[in-house]
Structure 1
Amino acid sequence: MTEGQPASGRWARFSVVAATVLLIVSQVLIFSPGTDVSPYAFTTNPPLPRTYGGATVQVWAILLLLALCGARFVFSSPRSASSAYGWTVAAVVTVSAAGAVTSDNFPVFAEGVGKLVLPLLLFLCFTSLAGPGIDRTLTKLVIVVNLFTVGQAVLARALTGQFAANRYYIELPQEYFGYFYHPFAFAGILGACSIVLINEIRQRRHRFLMTLLVTTNVFFIFQSQVRTYILATAISFIISLIGLTVGRRSAKATFLIAGVLSLVALSIGSGLVAGSRNTSDASSGRLDRWALDVSYTWDTASVGQLLFGGGPGYISEINSRLFGVQINSLNALIDVFVDFGLIGLMLVVAAWATLLREHYLRAGNPLVLAVVTLLSVSALVTSPIEFPAVAVMLVVAAWAISRPPAAEDLSRPDEPVRSHAHVAGGSGHYRPQPGLRRHT
């Protein structure tokens, strides 16, 4: 940690970082190696996760992070004048109350509500912890998480002969996500980490090593064949390129390069759709699922359910009736609407929008837009909230790149140095918790 920071602040940072590491490590502890975690298995003979005290390590990590964030609000002075603070508190209180009323039991409430409000509260927690060195602390955390995520896949290859110890895409001869319980969590974490590594390259820190790690991340993301995060990461890289080249080159050249990269990303995506993955269309049935989920909810829900939702996991109950299997919508907005209603959806969107807007204005780094892009695109074609480790790493990434680089790194040789003020500051999702509704 940094010198000159109060001991309480250093301890708070360390605690949050340690709890975040626990959340990431929990991704490899949910199921035993060799477990069949495919959608087919969950609809026929669901595997049982490892539990400790009635909950998985992931749920305990969520509860620990929530407790640390809550303690930070109690013992620190939040920026009550901030509109983001007001919207976030309103969203957290509303969805927590709605979830408490409609949940079947505490584990359902803890997981369903916890993973929705955790990234919002963590964002505010970092706001109160912001100060000298927050960017470097979180950048080191990202690098450690990145090395662990890639390393456990390499370890799986060395010990099992495969880059994935479990089985998810049963139609593929080889999978790439190591011991993680789900490939979506694996690919999403690497996408978030890659943006921070690009920022390190931008600031001329360990360029060779960071470039090598970004290249490794891209390889594993594509090999994982998680098309949603392939798409989201490719677009976020394009936004990164635009943000880093505007002001250094002409806008025409910037958008020309971005256009070429977009075509490359689309071509690769089309190749994946036509390859070994068995899907009926490019959307993997998402468009039909979304239309049915919304129309069914609108036609059958009571006024109270339309306003405050049917409770955590209600989306899986609806899809069980519609499709015969407990699955979510693969769209974060629809999931929140069905589970927490129109009011919950509006408050959650408002909280995210104001948090990201205020942070972008404070950060002074165009790469924050890449984090926003990764979050937005993945939320529209999957649900990063369903995998709390991904949502948490997106928040960590936003704060890791919050400090603007030195002025000399941003100006062209033929331009005067400007001052930059720094303000401190197809597939499925299944719930591994026993007794909870599973998602695909």
Structure 2
Amino acid sequence: MENRKKVAFYTLGCKLNFSETSTIARNLQDEGFDRVDFEEVADMYVINTCSVTENADKQFKQVVRKAMKLNDKAFVAAVGCYAQLKPEELASVDGVDLVLGATEKFKLADYINDLSKNDFGEVHSCEISEADFYVGSYSIGDRTRAFLKVQDGCDYKCTYCTIPLARGISRSDELENVLKNAKNISEQNIKEIVLTGVNIGDYGKGEFGNKKHEHTFLELVQELDKVEGIERLRISSIEPNLLKNETIEFVSKSRTFVPHFHIPLQSGSNDILKLMKRRYQREVYTERVNKIREVMPHACIGVDVIVGFPGETDEHFLETYHFLNEMNISYLHVFTYSERDNTEAVTMEGVVPADVRAKRSKMLRGLSVKKRRAFYESQLGSNRTVLFESENKEGYIHGFTENYVKVKTPWNPELVNTLQKINLTKIDEDGSVRMDFVTTTV
């Protein structure tokens, strides 16, 4: 047993990456590795990369330096989206020994020999057209909730996005396998599952570029709702054109699906949406939000928005700002547009200066604070159910209600990973909500 090697993981980016990191970790544990925290000395460090923003690229180098400080003789492997897009660039980073692209990352064990350092980073990456098969993933043991991957890749051609280049065509897990994974998760005493993917509303497309949908996203949701042992299911980001009224209505009556939607908008200007090659106009977005509010007035609705896209004038930005200000939404995720190689947007005219992008981002982040505060205030006095997390933050335990209100109460380890009936009482200085217990739920 003393010969077992230690491996540590660091995940950059989205929930989908977390689910895949967890699966790669289980594979390595089956091969005789012991997983340890990234802060510990390990024989190998695996970094799951992201390439959605410029910042994620820079973070990679910082994480490699951190690993080298912990153990300068450790083997360092890079996997994930950035590893697919720019493998040679990652391989050239001092300390990196192995870079695996989209089809290779789940076969990490096959590329490891004696864990001795390489003089130069070794690259194994494919043409992205070869990423036409599906590998199911889910995360357990990392958090109170689990991330369950149901779909990968994207067939959309948004002009700012590198994800199709990094992950390939849209393809999905078989329904039976998703249900099996969900059951496995429920048996680990995990109370909440978050469905994740690149474009989960496109769920149902098979492997090898098969465009036919074997099942719809609605059918997936309906079947998952029947899985015993799961207390909560949460839909992560879903495109407005793929979020159908039938799905919204089903969630409103569902046993396990919670009233929380995260719907990318990207711009409130139809002119900019057209330049982005998004598959809807803002009127569709309004319809979706209104439908959710009609059947679930207390639902939480999050919005992704990009500022500073090429061609975005002051008028276009103000159109977005006013559209969001008037919309009954709960919070924003604001992204400042950054140029990505091999995207159509890089060649577009009307480049927005960096200082203007920063100013617009600041305005929308301010609007998000206002929206979240208004949403939290609207929930005061209501009874909700909270799932408590495991971290002790300055003497408090935090958790989220079913409709994604962040709550806090003095630390009590017995509350970890439990669902509690509570009453929301007041908003604290840090923006979270204080609460009173009503009754304990099972």
Q: TM-score, normalised by structure 2?
A: 0.30
Using CA pairs under 8 Å that are at least 6 residues apart, name the structure with larger relative contact order, 1 or 2.
1
Identify, as 1 or 2, the structure richer in helix: 1
Identify, as 1 or 2, the structure richer in strand: 2
Q: TM-score, normalised by structure 1?
A: 0.30
